[in-house]
A and B are shown apart, each in its own frame.
Chain A
């Protein structure tokens, strides 16, 4: 088994009057784990279904391993897919569910008729080979003791594994997954996330994974393609998507705690918030109004009365194990809330030496701050700490 690259060129899809995909270009490397991430209705599932061959393209082309597959039927595309509902055949045993793709590709309609096993040695031999392959796959996926069960007798996680088994048994070069974990509970989801990552590493197949869950996307992918209303907004490594989102919409979608958005103005390279100068410079940004995007960890709590950028009333403290999330009232800055995240031990220290009481003094960490134009585009030049006093 080895993966092949996928080249998606200017793919469009109209449905009725609306354009679901507005010219998507994507180049997926062989063996890559690429995730299509986006809110529901952004077109990511449609794109996946077109790669699988279930839906026709309105225009554009799709190549897999250099071969144009735009017009080929699904079974000839050398792709396998795991569905959100798993889509197992309810009337077939686990063994048959996994083996059916082989049965269909290796035997003709006549050879698959009941009784042909008795008549032909070749058919018997083929069925025996299929059985062996199924046993091997079942062994890999820890399904060996379940081969005689029907899907209704399995748990969600087991069904998911059967669906994966049915997909890998054909040794495809591209593996498509449509929200395969969304029907499972949180703990199982984390476990199966690791199993899927392992499977990807072991098999070397190209994975194309669709999800609306940004945590999943960040955790598993070599690259993430973020989609919004029918187009790919940014396609990059997870770290880059998180740290340098190309648009405000991307920044909003990624990150488990929402990004803080402050309305600022820039005058002569100096960043002003509510008429007050911040400890930040945007040397290449023309004068005008902007949105300053600050991740919850890009704000640092400092001792009060020091060189803080602003001091805000503390509303709520939320513990989540090693991290603490603070919510502050942002009315003084012209926004509703400001969220800050820090390590739990740092929070404890600040609290005990009086750095945090019912007010928190905050300082912006310039290297992680993001400046977006009024149309939501990221300003390419990084922000700097203002050197001279303000």
Chain B
């Protein structure tokens, strides 16, 4: 009895250090292997965010040698700045035009495409082409298409006896003009996401729906497709919101925020204030606001897609 008791007691201390060093070296290895990724992420994403946060609390101007901390002064000024509110409003309007239309249209086109067998590939390529193109270059083409004097749209409207729209020069229409280009650019991407989402709908379920009388296009969309791709829809909406809030290329190339600030959006204003106006501190405060809005969309997406949603 005493013998059997003695054996484990003696062997225990011998075993324990071995397992400890094993665990220790495993941990060291784990950190060593993840260090490059962590350092890269820190240097390129996390550190800049902190730098922006700190700069936003200063009156730093690009090119100046000195700066002083002014606390929340930039943020107080920002709330008083009518141009900030104008840019935020324009971004919101732009997003609320681009997101519903690009998502809704992509869903409908995707629902039309799932039953095509041979022509589906062709349409996928056609709709995806704008995504692969350079928006800056394509903006030039669009500026011609939408031009009120020489553009084909204006010519068409004149020939129909209507007064032609001059999209990008008219203060009331310029934002809509940019939104049209934004939708064109985003549609193909959303379409591909929806088509990928459709592959999760079982074929037997679509057959059963046909037998149950759910066989018209709108009924299928309403009772089967739309509820079953709710998780995909949330991802698509969140990504589209982020994309729409990032609208910059078209503004910079086509309108420069004009006419009279009608198309000045958040990212463009940040660029103007920081690099043209050289007010880095103020620009950083704008960037912090911009980042927190984008962050909100991402958090919404993560929360929603973690649950299994059915509408």
Q: Which residues of A contact B (CB under 8 A)?
A: 49, 52-54, 73-75, 79-81, 83-85, 87-91, 100-101, 104-105, 109, 166
Is B311 an interface residue, CB under 8 A from the partner? yes
Is B218 an interface residue, CB under 8 A from the partner? yes
- Establish whether residues A109 and B215, one from each chain, have CB atoms under 8 Å apart when the complex forms: no
Q: Find chain A residues with CB under 8 A from B228 CB.
A: 90-91
Contact size range, B: 20 to 34
8 A-B pairs, CB-CB below 8 angstroms? A53-B210, A83-B207, A87-B208, A89-B223, A89-B227, A91-B310, A91-B311, A166-B208
Question: Could you tell me the distance between the alpha carbons of A109 and B218 in the complex, rounded to whole angstroms?
Answer: 9
Q: Of A74, A80, A89, which contacts B210 at CB under 8 A?
A: A74
- Establish whether residues B214 and A83, one from each chain, have CB atoms under 8 Å apart when the complex forms: no
Q: Find chain A residues with CB under 8 A from B208 CB.
A: 81, 83, 87-88, 166
Q: Find chain B residues with CB under 8 A from A100 CB.
A: 212, 214, 223
Interface residues of B in 195-227 (CB under 8 A from A): 202, 204-205, 207-216, 218-219, 223-224, 227
Q: Find chain A residues with CB under 8 A from B205 CB.
A: 85, 87-89
Nearest CB of A to B182, in Å: 32
User: In the complex where A90-B228, A91-B310, A101-B213 touch, is A83 in contact with B219 (Cβ < 8 A)?
Assistant: no
Question: Could you tell me the distance between the alpha carbons of A46 and B210 in the complex, rounded to whole angstroms?
Answer: 17
Q: Find chain B residues with CB under 8 A from A75 CB.
A: 210-213, 215
Question: Could you tell me the distance between the alpha carbons of A314 and B149 in the complex, rounded to whole angstroms?
Answer: 99
Q: Find chain B residues with CB under 8 A from A52 CB.
A: 207, 211
Nearest CB of A to B309, in Å: 9
User: In the complex where A54-B210, A81-B211, A166-B212 touch, is A104 in contact with B204 (Cβ < 8 A)?
Assistant: no
Nearest CB of B to A95, in Å: 14
Q: Find chain A residues with CB under 8 A from B219 CB.
A: 104, 109
Question: Could you tell me the distance between the alpha carbons of A366 and B194 in the complex, rounded to whole angstroms?
Answer: 66
What are the 3 closest A-B residue pairs judged by CB atoms, nearest first?
A: A104-B213, A91-B310, A87-B208
Q: Find chain B residues with CB under 8 A from A104 CB.
A: 212-214, 219
User: In the complex where A87-B202, A91-B310, A104-B219 touch, is A80 in contact with B213 (Cβ < 8 A)?
Assistant: no
- Establish whether residues B204 and A85, one from each chain, have CB atoms under 8 Å apart when the complex forms: yes
- 14 new A-B contacts at CB < 8 Å, known A79-B211, A87-B202, A104-B213: A49-B207, A53-B211, A54-B207, A73-B210, A74-B215, A75-B212, A75-B215, A87-B208, A88-B205, A89-B205, A89-B227, A91-B228, A101-B211, A104-B214
Which residue of chain B has the shortest Cβ distance to A170 in the bound complex? B212
Which residue of chain A has the shortest Cβ distance to B224 in the bound complex? A89
Question: Could you tell me the distance between the alpha carbons of A84 and B223 in the complex, rounded to whole angstroms?
Answer: 21
Nearest CB of A to B107, in Å: 16
Nearest CB of A to B225, in Å: 11
Which residue of chain B has the shortest Cβ distance to A55 in the bound complex? B207
Which residue of chain A has the shortest Cβ distance to B230 in the bound complex? A91
Q: Find chain A residues with CB under 8 A from B214 CB.
A: 100, 104
Question: Could you tell me the distance between the alpha carbons of A82 and B275 in the complex, rounded to whole angstroms?
Answer: 66
DSSP majority for the B interface? helix
Q: Which residues of B contact A (CB under 8 A)?
A: 202, 204-205, 207-216, 218-219, 223-224, 227-228, 310-311
Q: Find chain B residues with CB under 8 A from A90 CB.
A: 228, 310
User: In the complex where A73-B215, A104-B219, A109-B219 touch, is A87 in contact with B207 (Cβ < 8 A)?
Assistant: yes
- Establish whether residues A80 and B211, one from each chain, have CB atoms under 8 Å apart when the complex forms: yes
Question: Could you tell me the distance between the alpha carbons of A375 and B212 in the complex, rounded to whole angstroms?
Answer: 46
Question: Could you tell me the distance between the alpha carbons of A54 and B215 in the complex, rounded to whole angstroms?
Answer: 11
Which residue of chain B has the shortest Cβ distance to A80 in the bound complex? B211
Nearest CB of A to B295, in Å: 30
Q: Find chain B residues with CB under 8 A from A84 CB.
A: 204
Question: Could you tell me the distance between the alpha carbons of A87 and B212 in the complex, rounded to whole angstroms?
Answer: 11
Question: Could you tell me the distance between the alpha carbons of A223 and B205 in the complex, rounded to whole angstroms?
Answer: 29
Nearest CB of B to A52, in Å: 6
Q: Of A74, A89, A109, which contacts B211 at CB under 8 A?
A: A74
Q: Find chain B residues with CB under 8 A from A83 CB.
A: 204, 207-208
Question: Could you tell me the distance between the alpha carbons of A104 and B219 in the complex, rounded to whole angstroms?
Answer: 9
- Establish whether residues B211 and A105, one from each chain, have CB atoms under 8 Å apart when the complex forms: no
Question: Could you tell me the distance between the alpha carbons of A104 and B228 in the complex, rounded to whole angstroms?
Answer: 19
Nearest CB of A to B208, in Å: 4
Question: Could you tell me the distance between the alpha carbons of A85 and B211 in the complex, rounded to whole angstroms?
Answer: 15
Q: Find chain A residues with CB under 8 A from B204 CB.
A: 83-85, 87
Question: Could you tell me the distance between the alpha carbons of A101 and B211 in the complex, rounded to whole angstroms?
Answer: 8
Q: Find chain B residues with CB under 8 A from A80 CB.
A: 211
Q: Find chain A residues with CB under 8 A from B310 CB.
A: 90-91
Which residue of chain A has the shortest Cβ distance to B310 in the bound complex? A91
Nearest CB of B to A84, in Å: 7
Nearest CB of B to A197, in Å: 23
Nearest CB of A to B232, in Å: 14
Question: Could you tell me the distance between the alpha carbons of A322 and B83 in the complex, rounded to whole angstroms?
Answer: 91
Question: Could you tell me the distance between the alpha carbons of A85 and B207 in the complex, rounded to whole angstroms?
Answer: 12
Q: Find chain B residues with CB under 8 A from A91 CB.
A: 227-228, 310-311
Nearest CB of B to A71, in Å: 15
Question: Could you tell me the distance between the alpha carbons of A42 and B207 in the complex, rounded to whole angstroms?
Answer: 21
Which residue of chain A has the shortest Cβ distance to B216 in the bound complex? A109
Question: Could you tell me the distance between the alpha carbons of A323 and B310 in the complex, rounded to whole angstroms?
Answer: 52
Question: Could you tell me the distance between the alpha carbons of A166 and B216 in the complex, rounded to whole angstroms?
Answer: 19
Question: Could you tell me the distance between the alpha carbons of A79 and B311 in the complex, rounded to whole angstroms?
Answer: 30
Nearest CB of A to B61, in Å: 56
Q: Find chain A residues with CB under 8 A from B207 CB.
A: 49, 52, 54, 74, 81, 83, 87
Which residue of chain B has the shortest Cβ distance to A85 in the bound complex? B204
Which residue of chain B has the shortest Cβ distance to A73 in the bound complex? B215
Question: Could you tell me the distance between the alpha carbons of A54 and B206 in the complex, rounded to whole angstroms?
Answer: 10
Q: Find chain B residues with CB under 8 A from A105 CB.
A: 213
